[in-house]
Amino acid sequence: MITGTLTSETFLKAVELTRVPEEVYDEAYEATTQYVPWPKAYGGDMVAQAAAAMMRSVDDDRALHSMHSYFMRPVDVGSSVRYEVERLRDGRGYSTRTVRGFQNGKPVYAAMGSFQVPEDGPDFQPEAPAAVDPETLRSAAEALDEAAGPAAEYWSTGRSFDMRHVPGPVYINLEGGPVPQQAIWVKAFDALPDGADLHRAALAYVCDYTILEPLLRVNGLHWSSPGLATASLDHAMWFHREGRADEWVLYAQEAVSGQSNRGLATGRFFDRQGRLLATVAQEGMIRPGA
Protein backbone atom coordinates (compact mmCIF):
# COMPACT_ATOMS: atom_id res chain seq x y z
CA MET A 1 0.00 0.00 0.00
CA ILE A 2 1.41 3.40 -1.06
CA THR A 3 1.13 5.94 1.76
CA GLY A 4 3.31 8.94 0.79
CA THR A 5 2.06 12.49 0.32
CA LEU A 6 1.60 13.80 -3.22
CA THR A 7 3.59 17.04 -3.28
CA SER A 8 5.93 18.90 -5.63
CA GLU A 9 8.19 20.10 -2.81
CA THR A 10 11.00 17.79 -3.95
CA PHE A 11 11.31 19.63 -7.26
CA LEU A 12 10.99 23.08 -5.67
CA LYS A 13 13.70 22.22 -3.13
CA ALA A 14 15.93 20.88 -5.88
CA VAL A 15 15.96 24.22 -7.73
CA GLU A 16 16.58 26.36 -4.63
CA LEU A 17 19.93 28.01 -5.33
CA THR A 18 22.25 29.78 -2.89
CA ARG A 19 24.77 32.29 -4.26
CA VAL A 20 28.30 31.44 -3.12
CA PRO A 21 31.74 32.90 -3.90
CA GLU A 22 32.93 31.79 -7.31
CA GLU A 23 36.13 29.76 -7.49
CA VAL A 24 36.46 28.97 -11.19
CA TYR A 25 34.23 31.13 -13.40
CA ASP A 26 32.13 34.30 -13.18
CA GLU A 27 29.45 33.38 -10.63
CA ALA A 28 28.58 30.35 -8.53
CA TYR A 29 25.57 28.77 -6.82
CA GLU A 30 24.98 25.77 -4.60
CA ALA A 31 21.99 23.42 -4.71
CA THR A 32 21.19 20.14 -2.98
CA THR A 33 20.34 16.83 -4.63
CA GLN A 34 17.11 15.26 -3.43
CA TYR A 35 16.36 11.86 -1.93
CA VAL A 36 16.21 8.79 -4.16
CA PRO A 37 16.24 5.19 -2.89
CA TRP A 38 19.37 4.38 -4.92
CA PRO A 39 23.10 5.00 -4.40
CA LYS A 40 23.42 7.95 -6.80
CA ALA A 41 21.47 11.18 -7.24
CA TYR A 42 18.82 11.67 -9.93
CA GLY A 43 20.27 13.23 -13.11
CA GLY A 44 17.35 15.62 -13.49
CA ASP A 45 18.51 17.38 -10.33
CA MET A 46 21.68 18.45 -12.11
CA VAL A 47 19.95 19.42 -15.36
CA ALA A 48 17.35 21.60 -13.61
CA GLN A 49 19.85 23.08 -11.15
CA ALA A 50 22.30 23.95 -13.92
CA ALA A 51 19.50 25.48 -16.00
CA ALA A 52 18.39 27.57 -13.01
CA ALA A 53 21.97 28.72 -12.39
CA MET A 54 22.42 29.79 -16.01
CA MET A 55 19.05 31.56 -15.96
CA ARG A 56 20.22 33.63 -12.98
CA SER A 57 23.17 34.91 -15.02
CA VAL A 58 21.29 36.54 -17.92
CA ASP A 59 19.04 39.58 -18.27
CA ASP A 60 15.27 39.17 -18.09
CA ASP A 61 14.81 40.04 -21.78
CA ARG A 62 16.05 36.61 -22.96
CA ALA A 63 15.08 33.00 -22.37
CA LEU A 64 16.84 29.64 -22.42
CA HIS A 65 16.21 27.93 -25.75
CA SER A 66 18.74 25.08 -25.64
CA MET A 67 21.10 23.27 -23.30
CA HIS A 68 23.51 20.39 -23.73
CA SER A 69 24.83 18.35 -20.81
CA TYR A 70 27.29 15.62 -19.84
CA PHE A 71 27.05 13.54 -16.68
CA MET A 72 30.65 12.78 -15.73
CA ARG A 73 30.58 11.20 -12.27
CA PRO A 74 27.98 9.79 -9.86
CA VAL A 75 26.66 12.48 -7.51
CA ASP A 76 25.97 11.93 -3.81
CA VAL A 77 22.34 11.93 -2.70
CA GLY A 78 21.28 14.70 -0.31
CA SER A 79 24.52 16.66 -0.77
CA SER A 80 25.30 20.06 -2.24
CA VAL A 81 26.69 20.64 -5.72
CA ARG A 82 28.45 23.90 -6.60
CA TYR A 83 27.56 25.23 -10.05
CA GLU A 84 30.11 27.59 -11.57
CA VAL A 85 28.69 29.68 -14.46
CA GLU A 86 30.86 31.22 -17.16
CA ARG A 87 29.39 34.14 -19.11
CA LEU A 88 30.82 33.33 -22.54
CA ARG A 89 28.94 35.91 -24.59
CA ASP A 90 26.17 38.48 -24.35
CA GLY A 91 24.99 39.79 -27.71
CA ARG A 92 22.00 41.85 -28.74
CA GLY A 93 19.95 38.77 -29.58
CA TYR A 94 21.70 35.81 -27.93
CA SER A 95 23.70 34.91 -24.82
CA THR A 96 25.85 31.82 -24.23
CA ARG A 97 26.75 30.24 -20.92
CA THR A 98 28.70 27.24 -19.67
CA VAL A 99 28.26 25.69 -16.24
CA ARG A 100 30.17 23.03 -14.35
CA GLY A 101 28.93 21.20 -11.30
CA PHE A 102 31.49 20.31 -8.62
CA GLN A 103 31.17 17.91 -5.70
CA ASN A 104 33.88 16.58 -3.38
CA GLY A 105 36.43 18.69 -5.23
CA LYS A 106 35.77 17.06 -8.63
CA PRO A 107 33.71 18.06 -11.67
CA VAL A 108 30.62 15.86 -11.85
CA TYR A 109 28.51 17.60 -14.52
CA ALA A 110 29.05 20.04 -17.40
CA ALA A 111 26.60 21.92 -19.60
CA MET A 112 26.31 24.70 -22.14
CA GLY A 113 23.20 26.83 -22.64
CA SER A 114 22.01 29.40 -25.14
CA PHE A 115 19.51 32.21 -24.52
CA GLN A 116 17.57 34.30 -27.04
CA VAL A 117 15.68 37.57 -27.00
CA PRO A 118 12.28 36.48 -28.45
CA GLU A 119 11.50 37.58 -32.02
CA ASP A 120 8.45 37.51 -34.29
CA GLY A 121 8.72 34.98 -37.12
CA PRO A 122 7.10 32.02 -38.92
CA ASP A 123 5.72 29.30 -36.64
CA PHE A 124 5.84 25.59 -37.49
CA GLN A 125 5.63 22.36 -35.51
CA PRO A 126 4.58 18.74 -36.03
CA GLU A 127 1.17 17.57 -34.93
CA ALA A 128 0.90 16.14 -31.46
CA PRO A 129 0.39 12.36 -31.43
CA ALA A 130 -3.05 11.07 -30.60
CA ALA A 131 -3.31 9.88 -27.00
CA VAL A 132 -6.01 8.88 -24.56
CA ASP A 133 -6.92 11.43 -21.90
CA PRO A 134 -4.70 11.30 -18.81
CA GLU A 135 -7.72 11.11 -16.50
CA THR A 136 -8.50 7.66 -17.93
CA LEU A 137 -5.04 6.27 -17.11
CA ARG A 138 -3.64 4.87 -13.87
CA SER A 139 -1.32 7.01 -11.81
CA ALA A 140 1.96 5.48 -10.67
CA ALA A 141 0.46 4.97 -7.20
CA GLU A 142 -2.49 3.09 -8.69
CA ALA A 143 -0.23 1.00 -10.93
CA LEU A 144 1.93 0.09 -7.93
CA ASP A 145 -0.87 -0.36 -5.40
CA GLU A 146 0.07 -4.01 -4.80
CA ALA A 147 3.80 -3.29 -4.59
CA ALA A 148 5.86 -2.46 -1.52
CA GLY A 149 9.28 -1.08 -0.71
CA PRO A 150 11.25 2.15 -1.11
CA ALA A 151 11.34 2.05 -4.91
CA ALA A 152 7.57 1.64 -5.28
CA GLU A 153 6.96 4.42 -2.74
CA TYR A 154 9.35 6.74 -4.55
CA TRP A 155 7.95 6.04 -8.01
CA SER A 156 4.45 6.71 -6.67
CA THR A 157 4.92 9.81 -4.53
CA GLY A 158 8.56 10.98 -4.45
CA ARG A 159 9.13 12.49 -7.88
CA SER A 160 6.96 15.65 -7.58
CA PHE A 161 5.04 14.77 -10.77
CA ASP A 162 2.07 12.59 -11.66
CA MET A 163 3.19 10.32 -14.54
CA ARG A 164 0.75 8.14 -16.47
CA HIS A 165 2.09 5.76 -19.12
CA VAL A 166 0.78 4.81 -22.54
CA PRO A 167 0.63 1.84 -23.23
CA GLY A 168 1.59 1.01 -19.62
CA PRO A 169 4.41 1.46 -17.09
CA VAL A 170 7.70 -0.43 -16.88
CA TYR A 171 8.23 -0.30 -13.09
CA ILE A 172 8.06 -3.94 -12.01
CA ASN A 173 7.08 -5.61 -15.28
CA LEU A 174 6.77 -4.68 -18.94
CA GLU A 175 3.25 -3.50 -19.76
CA GLY A 176 2.48 -2.95 -23.42
CA GLY A 177 5.08 -5.14 -25.04
CA PRO A 178 8.60 -4.63 -26.47
CA VAL A 179 7.93 -1.66 -28.76
CA PRO A 180 10.25 1.34 -29.36
CA GLN A 181 7.73 4.05 -28.46
CA GLN A 182 5.78 5.17 -25.45
CA ALA A 183 4.10 8.31 -24.15
CA ILE A 184 3.60 9.67 -20.66
CA TRP A 185 1.18 12.30 -19.44
CA VAL A 186 3.05 14.45 -16.89
CA LYS A 187 1.80 17.07 -14.41
CA ALA A 188 3.21 18.48 -11.18
CA PHE A 189 1.33 17.24 -8.11
CA ASP A 190 0.93 20.82 -6.84
CA ALA A 191 0.28 24.15 -8.52
CA LEU A 192 3.70 25.69 -9.18
CA PRO A 193 4.60 29.38 -8.88
CA ASP A 194 4.28 31.48 -12.01
CA GLY A 195 7.34 32.23 -14.12
CA ALA A 196 8.31 30.79 -17.51
CA ASP A 197 11.85 30.01 -16.32
CA LEU A 198 10.57 27.90 -13.42
CA HIS A 199 8.36 25.88 -15.76
CA ARG A 200 11.25 25.37 -18.19
CA ALA A 201 13.32 24.12 -15.26
CA ALA A 202 10.43 21.81 -14.29
CA LEU A 203 10.41 20.18 -17.73
CA ALA A 204 14.21 19.87 -17.56
CA TYR A 205 13.84 18.24 -14.15
CA VAL A 206 11.14 15.71 -15.03
CA CYS A 207 12.42 14.71 -18.48
CA ASP A 208 15.22 12.44 -17.21
CA TYR A 209 12.96 10.15 -15.14
CA THR A 210 11.59 8.25 -18.12
CA ILE A 211 13.57 9.14 -21.27
CA LEU A 212 15.51 5.83 -21.21
CA GLU A 213 12.33 3.77 -20.84
CA PRO A 214 11.72 3.29 -24.60
CA LEU A 215 15.17 1.66 -24.73
CA LEU A 216 14.24 -0.63 -21.84
CA ARG A 217 10.89 -1.39 -23.45
CA VAL A 218 12.24 -2.29 -26.91
CA ASN A 219 14.65 -4.76 -25.26
CA GLY A 220 11.94 -6.38 -23.13
CA LEU A 221 13.32 -4.86 -19.91
CA HIS A 222 11.81 -2.95 -17.00
CA TRP A 223 13.25 -1.05 -14.03
CA SER A 224 13.07 -4.12 -11.80
CA SER A 225 14.81 -6.47 -14.25
CA PRO A 226 17.42 -8.45 -12.25
CA GLY A 227 20.92 -7.02 -12.57
CA LEU A 228 19.91 -4.07 -14.76
CA ALA A 229 22.32 -1.10 -14.55
CA THR A 230 21.57 2.27 -16.17
CA ALA A 231 23.13 5.73 -16.19
CA SER A 232 22.55 8.97 -18.07
CA LEU A 233 25.55 9.88 -20.23
CA ASP A 234 24.62 13.02 -22.12
CA HIS A 235 21.52 15.11 -22.63
CA ALA A 236 20.24 17.80 -24.97
CA MET A 237 17.08 19.86 -24.65
CA TRP A 238 15.48 22.56 -26.77
CA PHE A 239 12.74 24.84 -25.46
CA HIS A 240 10.32 25.95 -28.17
CA ARG A 241 7.28 27.53 -26.52
CA GLU A 242 6.23 28.55 -23.04
CA GLY A 243 3.95 26.22 -21.12
CA ARG A 244 3.04 25.14 -17.62
CA ALA A 245 4.38 21.99 -15.98
CA ASP A 246 1.48 21.99 -13.47
CA GLU A 247 -0.95 21.30 -16.31
CA TRP A 248 -0.99 18.01 -18.24
CA VAL A 249 1.73 17.72 -20.89
CA LEU A 250 2.24 14.71 -23.15
CA TYR A 251 5.82 13.41 -23.25
CA ALA A 252 6.06 11.36 -26.47
CA GLN A 253 9.22 9.22 -26.55
CA GLU A 254 11.03 6.98 -29.03
CA ALA A 255 14.04 4.66 -28.94
CA VAL A 256 16.38 5.71 -31.77
CA SER A 257 19.36 3.36 -31.51
CA GLY A 258 20.92 0.84 -29.13
CA GLN A 259 24.43 -0.61 -29.32
CA SER A 260 27.47 -1.35 -27.14
CA ASN A 261 25.26 -1.14 -24.02
CA ARG A 262 24.42 2.48 -24.96
CA GLY A 263 21.14 3.78 -26.28
CA LEU A 264 19.73 7.03 -27.67
CA ALA A 265 16.13 8.12 -27.10
CA THR A 266 14.22 11.24 -28.04
CA GLY A 267 11.17 12.87 -26.48
CA ARG A 268 8.81 15.74 -27.21
CA PHE A 269 6.60 17.63 -24.75
CA PHE A 270 3.17 18.76 -26.04
CA ASP A 271 0.55 20.62 -24.02
CA ARG A 272 -3.11 19.59 -24.18
CA GLN A 273 -3.70 22.11 -26.95
CA GLY A 274 -1.11 20.29 -29.08
CA ARG A 275 1.60 22.97 -28.83
CA LEU A 276 5.17 21.61 -28.91
CA LEU A 277 6.88 22.93 -25.76
CA ALA A 278 10.26 21.19 -25.79
CA THR A 279 12.34 18.44 -27.41
CA VAL A 280 14.76 16.11 -25.61
CA ALA A 281 17.51 13.76 -26.80
CA GLN A 282 19.43 11.63 -24.33
CA GLU A 283 22.00 8.85 -24.49
CA GLY A 284 22.28 6.41 -21.63
CA MET A 285 24.20 3.36 -20.53
CA ILE A 286 21.96 0.32 -20.34
CA ARG A 287 23.57 -2.91 -19.14
CA PRO A 288 21.12 -5.81 -18.85
CA GLY A 289 21.69 -8.27 -16.06
CA ALA A 290 23.59 -11.45 -16.77
* Consecutive H or E run containing 43: helix 43-56
Task: Tell me what pLDDT residue 290 has.
Answer: 57
Quote the pLDDT of residue 2. 59
pLDDT at 177: 87
> Which of the residues in the chain have pLDDT under 70?
1-3, 290
Verdict on whether the full-model pTM lies above 0.75: yes
pLDDT at 148: 86
The three-state secondary structure class of 236 is strand
How many whole angstroms separate alpha carbon 210 and alpha carbon 216? 10
pLDDT for the residue 146: 86
pLDDT value, residue 3:
65
Instruction: Provide CB contacts within 8 A for 198, sequence distance 6+.
Output: 15, 192
Do residues 94 and 65 touch, judged by C-beta distance below 8 A? no
Helix 43-56, helix 196-206: angle, nearest 10: 160
C-beta atoms surrounding 146 within 10 Å:
9
Percentage helix, strand, coil for the chain under 3-state DSSP, each rounded to 5 = 20, 35, 45
Does residue 218 contact residue 179 with C-beta atoms inside 8 Å?
A: yes
**What span, in angstroms and rounded, lies between the C-alpha atoms of 207 and 163?**
11
Distance CA 271, CA 60 (A): 24
